[in-house]
Amino acid sequence: MPLPPLPTQIADQINLSRQKTPDLKNPPKKMKKALAPSWAQEVEANIDEDDDLSAAEAALEQIKTIAPAQHLEKQLDSKPERPKRTVRTGPPSLFVLDTNVLMHDPSSLFRFEEHDLYLPMTTLEELDNHKKGMSEVARNARMVSRSLDQLIAGTSGQLDEGIPLNKLGNQDATGRLFFQTQFSNAPLPEGLPEGKGDNLILGVVRDLQKAKPQQEVVLVSKDINMRIKARALGLPAEDYFNDQVLEDRDLMYSGVMALPSDFWPKHGKAMESWADGKSGTMFYRVTGPLVPSMLINQFVYQENPDGTTPFYALVREINGKTALLQTLKDYSHQKNNVWSITARNREQNFAMNLLMNPDIDFVTLLGQAGTGKTLLALAAGLEQVLDSKRYNEIIITRATVPVGEDIGFLPGTEEEKMQPWMGAFDDNLEVLHRSDDTAGEWGRAATQELIRSRIKVKSMNFMRGRTFVSKFLIIDEAQNLTPKQMKTLVTRAGPGT
């Protein structure tokens, strides 16, 4: 990639917006503060204070005509919002936990800060029914049982008074834990079977609302149908949000920032720049008001409308209002191809710079199907394992979540059992093989055998306790993993991985 122009030259090419200068001699007339909605302010603003009553009546008739149409249009354009986490500022609430919350996150007992928790007897019985086995749910149920045993041990007094949740050292949990010690004889609402566990928990929530009118009682459950039934009965119910990093996909970190047109005039006055002969990139140390909003390893770019060379850089350091920017290697050029793969757009160029950077240990790629996430990761891994020999081998894993019905047990070894799940990697390897037209059929066959010897397919079921040293680890379809599974895989990385 050619070196970016100097900031002074970039600043000379900026086209400042030519807006009309306001006429200070004839300022606009001040209007009365409108009390009508926004769609009515535009009509009311056209009525002068000295106009007669007929003009005002005509305008009001126009408002009545506009209001229903725009209100209907706003309703048609509105999209259903996802449930948001409720922010509570009043006294501590009392959360009644469903069994699936505890089995989903064993540490959920200590995630409710100053609020109190209530465990119905049905929840304890369902925990006991799921504690046997080697599955993740069974392990979580046993962890919850051990935590409850440690909380109860050495407790002086009655359980009706509650157990401090910070007893085991969790200082963030300042609430108390209550158990159901008295059974309710109140009948359930008509139409709900009495023998089902979910209905018994709903009955407990309703009884707690009557017994504690001064405290907000909320049911917390991961079961959607359970929350729907609770709301149908007039009981407040919420999902467990603590382990959800984001509530909306639009809020996810994009990793890029577009620089405004006046970036260089504001940040290039005391700029320092130098070239790195080894990597062929430029470094710019800039200072300005936009720097505090930047993040380390974030991409910044500025594309000029006149078609001149764009500016792409990576934020390497941030110190107050000073940032160190490093220009990127242009992987869209054929001379910088990675296993004959070149970047086709700006985002793929950014991704390839991250994957080929040895100073960045963890990279997440998010995109729609067909955007090249797996292909770029595999090409970068082969380049650094076979050519530059930065890593010893490639380890590939993914969540074994079927699209349709499960086909049952698979024969063979661990790698043979995982092979049907690795069709995406086989497809991408075929693309990489076809790109090598000069090797011939025998050469491609030899290359394929060499690649197969350096790629290991592993199952996530056997990842606990392992440590990968000098490996290139690829986790495909990571959206199908639970937060605890992802944490387990990320912590397997050792030195040089």
Query: For 172-191, what is the mean pLDDT?
Result: 78
Give the pLDDT score at 13: 39
What's the mean pLDDT in 91-116? 86
Model confidence at 171, in pLDDT bands (50, 70, 90)? confident
Domain architecture of the chain: domains with CATH: 94-238 (3.40.50.1010), 256-327 (no CATH), 358-490 (3.40.50.300)
pLDDT confidence tier of residue 313, bands split at 50, 70 and 90: very high
* Mean per-residue pLDDT, 319-343: 89
10: pLDDT strictly greater than 60? no
The answer for residues whose C-beta is within 8 angstroms of residue 214's C-beta and 6 or more apart is 91
Give percent of the chain with pLDDT exceeding 90.
7
Mean pLDDT, the chain, integer:
75
Q: For the segment 335-355, what is each residue's pLDDT rounded down to a tens digit? A: 888 888 888 889 999 999 999
Mean pLDDT within 462-489: 84
pLDDT tops 90 at residue 413: no
Q: Band of the pLDDT at 285, cuts 50, 70, 90?
A: very high
Contacts 24+ apart (CB under 8 A), 262-268: 262/14, 263/288, 263/290, 263/302, 264/7, 264/8, 264/10, 264/11, 264/14, 265/11, 265/14, 266/290, 267/291, 268/7, 268/8, 268/11
pTM above 0.75?
no
Q: Distance between CA atoms of 99 and 126, rounded to whole angstroms?
A: 7
Instruction: Identify which of 187, 105, 113 has the alpha carbon closest to the alpha carbon of residue 140.
Output: 105
Looking at the chain, how many residues does it have?
Answer: 497
The tokens describing 253, both together, are 């970190």
Residue 393 to residues 138, 390, 397, 406, Cα–Cα distance (Å): 34, 9, 13, 31
Each residue's pLDDT tens digit, 443-456: 556 567 777 778 88
